[in-house]
Amino acid sequence: MHSFDEEFAGERGRRNLLLLAAANFFVIITDTVYQISFRNALLCAFALVVLVGSRNSSCRNVGSEEEKLRTARLQMVDQQLRQRGIRDQRVLQAMAEIPRHLFVPAAWRSSAYDDRPLPIGEEQTISQPYIVALMSESLLLSGEETVLEIGTGSGYQAAVLSRLARRVYSIEILPNLAETARERLANLGYDNVTVIVGDGNYGWEPGAPFDAIIVTAAAPQVPQALLDQLAEGGRLVLPVSLEGEQHLLRLRKVKGNIIREDLGLVQFVPLVGGSKREANQ
Ligand code: SAH
């Protein structure tokens, strides 16, 4: 983003210098000594006006780019989330504030608030905003929880969770994605998120039990370790492939029993890695 603005300002600066040089050249070859000093004074005044104008307009451009993204973000929250039934004010607020455009590759920045998933490299995707909101809302967070995410990807879902819970652990199996997300989250100040490289099929024993667990890749079955690491009353939200379709499920642990709800059809990249024990949920 900065490079675009700097480039733009640089372009204007170069054009202004060329204009001034051409104007001075014209004065030198055509005027008398008396006229030179008079015209030069005029030219200096003109140069000052042009320079101040170009500064202001390049500042306006930095501002307008940010403003455009902010408008797109607020529209996304209203049209894609609120109007489709997302009710949790904390989820709406978090997604209105978090700069999703800083979680996608630069080439996709202007599409960051579109109603779709986007590529983030390594054949992975950042989920569609509505799905991030739906899954976040389904975790029923109040702000005090410890949450585990499987599939850090860009780190965007983790950033949203960081605003909804007390502590967030996020596991990513691809080291490059994990490293980029870790740096990004740290630079943006999401300091209650810890990114771990590993296979999320096994959960993350050192942080267990978790009040909520979210899996952002489709599993063939519910990984048993995730149910084991769920606290009493805890919620596990994950897409599971059933008969060729992916269903978004919410599993709740109530007095040791698992209550299962189907939240609808979704489309996610697959959860890879191995799980030795699976639960038949
Ligand atoms: N939540 C992410 C999007 C996730 S895409 C975001 O907000 O951007 C799914 C991610 O799950 C990918 O990055 C993929 O590498 C990761 N993944 C797949 N299988 C995994 C596993 N077994 N353990 C941890 N991460 C896994």
Can you read off the two tokens belonging to residue 159? 């950033």
Atom of ligand 1 nearest to the CA of 122: 15
Q: Which residues contact 277 (CB under 8 A, 6 or more apart)?
A: 224, 225
- Give yes or no: residues 109 and 230 share one domain: yes
User: Catalytic: 241?
Assistant: no
> Backbone dihedral region of 266: left (phi > 0), alpha (psi from -120 to 50 degrees) or beta?
beta
**Least confident span in 5-14, 37-46, 224-233:** 5-14
β-pairing, 245-254 vs 257-266, is antiparallel
Residue 174 sits in which domain range? Answer: 85-266
CATH of the domain at 155: 3.40.50.150
- Give yes or no: residues 154 and 241 share one domain: yes
Give residue 243's identity as a one-letter amino acid code.
E
- Give yes or no: residues 74 and 113 share one domain: no
- Give yes or no: residues 129 and 212 share one domain: yes
Q: What is the mean pLDDT of residues 161-166?
A: 98
- Give yes or no: residues 95 and 230 share one domain: yes
Rounded Cα gap, residues 203 and 152, in angstroms? 13
Scanning the chain, the segments in alpha helix (DSSP H) are: 2-30, 33-75, 89-97, 129-138, 156-164, 175-187, 224-228
- Give yes or no: residues 100 and 62 share one domain: no
Is the pLDDT reported for residue 37 higher than 60? yes
Cis (ω within 30 of 0) for the bond into 119?
no
User: Residue 122's pLDDT band (boundaries 50, 70, 90)?
Assistant: very high
- Give yes or no: residues 133 and 188 share one domain: yes
The DSSP result for 189-212, as a single string, is T-TTEEEEES-GGG--GGG-SEEE
How far is ligand 1, taken at its centre, from the CA of residue 48, in Å? 54
User: Residue 19's pLDDT band (boundaries 50, 70, 90)?
Assistant: low
> For residue 63, what pLDDT is reported?
78
Rounded Cα gap, residues 80 and 163, in angstroms? 20
Task: Pick the catalytic residue from 64, 111, 127, 241.
Answer: 127
User: Residue 8's pLDDT band (boundaries 50, 70, 90)?
Assistant: very low
pTM: 0.80
- Give yes or no: residues 66 and 164 share one domain: no
How far is ligand 1, taken at its centre, from the CA of residue 243, in Å? 22
pLDDT in tens, 55-103: 555 545 667 988 999 999 999 999 999 999 999 999 999 999 999 999 9
